[in-house]
Amino acid sequence: MRPVRDPRAEIHAANPWYVEDQFAVQLGSPAFRAVVENRWRVFARAIDEWTALSATAPPARLLDAGCGDGINLSFCSGMVRDRNWPTILVGADYNTLRIGRARALRVSGLVRASVTSLAFSDCSFDVVVCNQVLEHVPEYQTGLDELRRVLRPGGLLLIGVPNEGSPLGILRNHVLQRSILRSTDHVNMFTKRLLLDGLHRAGFDVVRIEPEAFFVPHTAVHGWLNRWPPVRRLLDSVGRRIPSCAAGLLAVAMRPR
C-alpha cells in the first residue's frame, strides 16, 4: 500500500515554524512570553468561571487540539495541579515531531490527529482548547465542527487566533512586511466577525471574544517595543480599547446543552 502523502509536506520542509522549538521561541523573549502568559490568564479565568457557573465537578477531561510542543498543556498541567483537580489532559497534533516533544510533559494522552478529523468519540471532553491553530487550517469550519463534536453539551471551548484580517494586519502583510506571507502558512485572516460567524455556524454559544494585545504591524518592531513593560502595558491598553487594532482574538464559547 502506498503511504498517504501529506499535501502540506513541502510547506513543512521549507517552513521553520514546523520544526522550531516553540518553548524557546514563544517563551524565550519578554515580548512573546508576555503574550503567551496573557492567554493563559484568559484561559484560566474562563475555566474557573465555567466551573463556578456550571455548579458541577471540575473538568474531568481537557483537550488541547493542535497542542504543538505542549506549551498550553504545560500551563494546564500546572493549573489543574494548583487547584487539585483530577483532570485528564489530552493533546492532539498532526505533526509527529511536536507530538514527540510533547511526550516529555508526561500528560495523560497524546494523539496524532488533525483538528479537522479528531480521533475521539462524540462528547469526550469537558473543555477544549484550540489556540493559534485555525489560521493554518484551510477547512477551519470543519475544524470548528469537529471541536463541537468532541465537546460535551455544556462544555467549554477556548479559541485563540491572530487578528490578521484587521486593518493593521493587512498593513503588515501586504505593505510593511510582505515577506511574512511567504514565511508562514496562514490561510485564514481572521477578524472578530469572521471568527464569530464560524463559531455560530458550528453551533456554539459565544460568551465573549476578548481582544489580545496590540497589532504592531511589523514583527521586529513588535519585539523591540514590547521589551519594555510600560510600553507593553500601554499598547495592550490600546488593543483593549480599540479591538480592531488588537493583535489577536480569544474566544470563550460553550456547546449548548
Angle at CA 254, nearest 5°, toward 243 and 164? 30
**16 pLDDT band (50/70/90 cuts)?**
low
**Sheet strands (E) in 87-162:** 88-93, 109-112, 125-131, 151-162
Please report the pLDDT score of residue 105 as a whole number: 80
Residue 197 CB partners (closer than 8 Å, separation 6+): none
Which three cell numbers mark 40?
Answer: 493563559
Ranking 55-69, 115-129, 238-252 by mean pLDDT, the lowest is 55-69
What's the pTM?
0.91
Structural domains in the chain plus CATH codes = 9-254 (3.40.50.150)
pLDDT > 70 in the chain, percent: 92
